[in-house]
Amino acid sequence: AQSVTQLGSHVSVSEGALVLLRCNYSSSVPPYLFWYVQYPNQGLQLLLKYTSAATLVKGINGFEAEFKKSETSFHLTKPSAHMSDAAEYFCAVSDKAGNNRKLIWGLGTSLAVNP
Amino acid sequence: NAGVTQTPKFRVLKTGQSMTLLCAQDMNHEYMYWYRQDPGMGLRLIHYSVGEGTTAKGEVPDGYNVSRLKKQNFLLGLESAAPSQTSVYFCASSYGASGGSTDTQYFGPGTRLTVL
């Protein structure tokens, strides 16, 4: 069964430093992939998604993610962290293959940005 | 265009009480979902609906019931609340099936439920 793993439940960076949040999927058939962000006391919103059109995907607020089939990864990056980036980030997978009507969610990574 | 709204935002129940959470969307989406979010456990799907009049079980359906009488509304019911149901509940909707597609899920702001 398809699964998604987010390495590191908590990541802490300094303001201005590189942000790297890791996501790996398990399927042998590359799925569709999503990153969602949840700001404190809010619902989730889409940050970006991989739809097979391009391996480097740009999202909102300066985030981007690169799909690497050989590594079964879809890591999220931002060159320079801002205090407002502090949030929970979720990676999710949509399996192309079957009748599954649902997204498969990672457990989330909490990003803290230190001044 | 309000997107996805949830009512109420907060609720405290005593064990054994019942309540209904209301989710409404104004985007004419076919698919709607109820999730619960607990620390360290990410998002877990409770029930979902693929269209008006339909419902289906997710990962953690026990203790919950749902109804989708109107396309824009998706109700989540707790018949006899238990402390284990203390959680934050999120409703989401999408135009098409999230599985096997690139459709985005749109989330409501959440309902924080405490069961004493």
Residue A34 pLDDT: 95
Mean of the pLDDT values across residues A86-97? 87
On chain A, the residues whose CB falls within 8 A of the CB of B105 are: 36, 44, 46, 103
What would the pLDDT profile of B27-86 be if each residue is shown by its tens digit? 999 999 999 999 989 999 999 999 999 999 999 999 999 999 999 999 999 999 999 999
Q: Is the pLDDT of residue A53 over 90?
A: no
What would the pLDDT profile of A67-81 be if each residue is shown by its tens digit? 999 999 999 999 999
On chain B, the residues whose CB falls within 8 A of the CB of A108 are: 42-43
Q: Whole-angstrom Cα distance, residue B63 to residue A65?
A: 38
Task: Say whether residue A43 is in contact with chain B using an 8 A CB cutoff.
Answer: yes
Closest listed residue to residue A59, CA positions, set A49, A68, A69, A70: A49
Mean of the pLDDT values across residues B82-110? 89
Q: Whole-angstrom Cα distance, residue B24 to residue A7?
A: 34
Beta strands at A10-14 and A64-68: parallel, antiparallel or unpaired: unpaired
Do residues A22 and A77 touch, judged by C-beta distance below 8 A? no
The whole-angstrom distance between B102's CA and the closest CA on chain A is 6
Q: Whole-angstrom Cα distance, residue B60 to residue B78?
A: 13
Q: Is the pLDDT of residue A24 over 70?
A: yes
Nearest-CA residue of chain B relative to A106?
B42
Residue A27 pLDDT: 79
Do residues A84 and A34 touch, judged by C-beta distance below 8 A? no
Do residues B20 and A83 touch, judged by C-beta distance below 8 A? no
Burial of B18 (0-12, 13-18, 19+ CB in 10 A): exposed
